[in-house]
Amino acid sequence: MTSDDIQNRLGENVRRIRKEQNLTQFQLAEKAELSEETVKNIELSRCWTSDKNLAKITKALQVDIHCLFLPVCSSFDEDSKDSGIIKKAIAENLKNYVDSVLGEITQNH
């Protein structure tokens, strides 16, 4: 995976999540205290953005930053061998996360 692939994935995910939340680019820019041009550039993968801007976007969209870099469905279709490995890794990470959260809840009660 190249840096361009990661940048494209970021743009696709920001656009997808924004649309799922029925936000325009302008509305997301206002919520994130960024310019509309910055949001446009991220979604179109024109340039890398700063970690500060990523933090503002994740806060505005109310998602964890890792959600912006998860593979999108189209990337699973491109290479079935790699997609199986990626899906398994995602499932394992989610299972480990849920197990750790449940462990914390159990300890606190």
Helices within the chain (DSSP H only): 3-20, 25-32, 36-43, 51-61, 73-78, 80-108
pLDDT band at 79 (very low <50, low <70, confident <90, very high): low
Residue 79 CA to residue 21 CA, distance in Å, equals: 29
pLDDT band at 60 (very low <50, low <70, confident <90, very high): very high
Q: Give the CA distances from residue 72 to residues 5, 19, 28, 52, 83, in Å, rounded to whole numbers and listed in that order.
A: 11, 14, 21, 23, 10
Q: What is the reported pTM? A: 0.66
